[in-house]
């Protein structure tokens, strides 16, 4: 009898949690929106940049890097940043601990994470930055890079 009562209580408790779960809340939507980062090698990203005649934005990061996590969860989740970067760039991210990042890290001598780069479609470095940038800062930085085209 005790088992039935305990199971009934746990079932009701579980159902009550489900009824209070936020569905379609703005918090859930906001945290899932981000810049559309393509999974490409550096070489393929540069080819796509040239083909589409769009500059390339490269984000170099690491999973263990606190400023990288903050950049992704705040700056890259900002609606203005998402819109600007998705409209104006081919976006690629590289985790320094993954083999696909080796060329980027070696060729551009990445010294710290997060590191940000803007390349022209002709593969010329237009801008680079190291460290965390908030939404206002990254938009200013990106726009100044595009002005160097």
Structural domains of the chain, count: 1
pLDDT for 33 equals: 80
Residue 12 belongs to some domain of the structure: no
pLDDT band at 7 (very low <50, low <70, confident <90, very high): very low
Band the pLDDT of 132: cuts 50, 70, 90. Answer: very high
Residue 92, strand partner residues: 38, 58
Q: Is residue 130 part of a domain?
A: yes
Does residue 33 lie within any of the structural domains?
A: yes
Please indicate, yes or no, if residue 19 is contained in any of the structural domains: no
Query: Is 86 within a domain?
Result: yes
Average pLDDT for 112-134: 97
Establish if 112 belongs to a structural domain: yes
- 12-64 tens-digit pLDDT: 444 343 344 344 444 444 446 889 999 999 999 999 999 999 999 999 999 99
113 part of a folded domain: yes
Q: What is the pTM (predicted TM-score) of this model?
A: 0.78
Residue 8 lies in a domain: no
The tokens for 66 are 């606190």
CATH, residue 77? 3.40.30.10
Dihedral class, residue 109 (left if φ above 0, else alpha if ψ from -120 to 50, else beta): left
Say if residues 118 and 127 touch (Cβ distance below 8 Å): yes
Domain residue limits at 35: 25-146
């Amino acid at each position: 009898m005790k088992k039935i009562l305990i199971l009934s209580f746990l079932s009701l408790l579980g159902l009550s949690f489900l009824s209070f779960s936020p569905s379609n809340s703005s918090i859930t939507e906001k945290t899932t929106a981000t810049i559309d980062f393509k999974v490409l090698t550096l070489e393929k990203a540069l080819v796509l940049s040239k083909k589409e005649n769009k500059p390339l934005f490269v984000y170099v990061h690491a999973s263990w890097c606190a400023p990288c996590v903050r950049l992704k969860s705040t700056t890259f989740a900002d609606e203005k940043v998402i819109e600007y970067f998705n409209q104006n760039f081919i976006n690629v991210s590289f985790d320094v601990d993954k083999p696909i990042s080796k060329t980027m890290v070696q060729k551009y001598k990445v010294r710290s994470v997060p590191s940000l780069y803007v390349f022209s479609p002709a593969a010329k470095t237009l801008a680079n930055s190291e460290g965390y940038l908030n939404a206002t800062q990254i938009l200013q930085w990106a726009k100044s890079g595009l002005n160097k085209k």
